[in-house]
Amino acid sequence: MKKLVLVFTLLALGFVFISCAEETTVATTAATTAATTVATTVATTVAPIEQGVTPTSIKVGNTAAVTGALAGVGVPFNEGIKAYFKQVNDAGGIDGRMIEFITYDDQFNAELGVSFTEQLVEDDDVFALVGHFGTPTVGATVDYIQDKGIPMVYAATGINSLYFAESIGNPVMAVQPIYYTDGRIMAARAVLSEVYGAAGDAALASDARIGVLYTNDDAGNSIKAGIDFELDKLGIASTRIFSTPVDASSVAQSIILLKAVGVKTVILAMNQYNFPYTISAIDDNELEVPVFTSYVNASVTYIDHTIFNVNRPIYANAWLDLFSVEGAADYADFAACIAASDLSDTDKATYALNSFAIAGYVAAYVFVEGLQRVADDGDLLTWENYIAAMESEEIGIPMGGVIDFTGGKRWGISSMSLLKYEFSGLGDNIYTTEVETDYPLEAFINVEPIQTIDEIEGTPAA
């Protein structure tokens, strides 16, 4: 029985991570190829105010994986973007302009991603890139985006090349957490959380050994850099740390090693492509210690419920909150947006419970906030004015905290909560009308609130 991702299991959003067919969501009355209408007006032939901007339209786009292994991420992500843009357009647009969204399928391939990014910027003349998708494409185009000066809002990855301490006017504006921060928080919580011992309420022993499994790619190395920094900051001796790169062919041997040396916790620095086989290998080799992993893996879709073991709790960071009153209210707004979208009724029900659709919604929301600020200030919609508006003050994130671009900060969201995977057996899926008895009753539940790294650290003993 397939797993539907229940909304309260999906509090961590992000991705590290493809037919050259074009999917275009533009306003037109003429026939188009593989097109879906989102905007409600026809772009005029009036000379643009800025690239992609006319008196009646704002053209934006992205390249994302909507076929292949990661279509399960890219498709709902883009649908979340489209749904929010439709909501904005249905309400009259921004300053009378409808948002047009063009997207290309890069199959999670960097070469295709670079080509399509250049096509969006140089041929389609988009005003901005919204929801720039995946580690391969984002990593290969950051320099290009900065050279062109085109705004990029929300990267669906957290690679460290998106981090800039102070870079006023930088067009690269990441939103989801940077992996370096993710790694720091994972390490801090692995060391400082009281989740050890027979009752699961004890601190990590001062001499306990720590295992770190990482993938030797942009995502794994970016996360590991944060882990290494934090463990050193917390005074963990290098002799206590057993760190090794893994892939599908080597992971079992690495876990056998960690078990042999007696590690008391394992930190996994990898994305959702590598996490499933790693957590399965940990189970296969009976390593029963708490596991800490990235926010990108906080989805029940990446865990086989049959490996659930109370003696091996799985923890993950998360940057969104649906448990608070405010978070629940924000989620209701998202669900209403999906309900009003152009999706089929079946897809509406599915995507209303999908973390990646929420991520796309957040990407579009943050982008539109900048448009609205420019309009409210009465300024021309130019790249310069748009970036300045985004830097003018913090932006509240639906179901989350804030993103702060002021002073040139390009840090991504830097505070996260902690989730724990739970499986309570098989039963009925309450989100379908069919009565079932074999549906996995599983969820990531919140065990720690959204906190900054400083709040997590408190005053740790070295």
Tens-digit pLDDT profile for residues 436-459: 888 888 888 889 988 888 899 985
Whether 4 shows a pLDDT value over 70: the answer reads: no
What is the predicted pLDDT for the residue at 449? 87
Q: Which residue has the tokens 């006017």?
A: 169
What is the predicted pLDDT for the residue at 49? 66
Average pLDDT over residues 11-35: 35
CATH 3.40.50.2300 intervals, the chain: 7-177+328-408, 180-318+442-457
Choice between 151 and 14, residue whose per-residue pLDDT is larger:
151
* 354 φ, ψ (degrees, to nearest 5): -115, 125
Is residue 352 within 8 Å of residue 338, measured between CB atoms? yes
What does the chain come to in residues? 462
Lowest mean pLDDT among 5-9, 52-56, 423-427: 5-9
Whether 11 shows a pLDDT value over 70: the answer reads: no
Q: Which residue has the tokens 């985004």?
A: 390
In this structure, CATH architecture of domain 7-177+328-408: 3-Layer(aba) Sandwich (3.40)
Q: In 3-state terms, what secondary structure has residue 105?
A: strand
Average pLDDT over residues 59-87: 95
Whether 292 shows a pLDDT value over 50: the answer reads: yes
From the options 3.30.365.10, 3.40.50.150, 3.40.50.2300, 1.20.1250.20, give the CATH code of 180-318+442-457: 3.40.50.2300
Lowest mean pLDDT among 45-49, 257-261, 299-303: 45-49
Name residues whose C-beta falls within 8 Å of residue 27's C-beta, 6 or more positions apart in sequence.
37, 38, 39, 40, 41, 42, 43, 57, 98, 100
Whether 215 shows a pLDDT value over 90: the answer reads: yes
Q: What is the value of pTM for the model shown?
A: 0.77
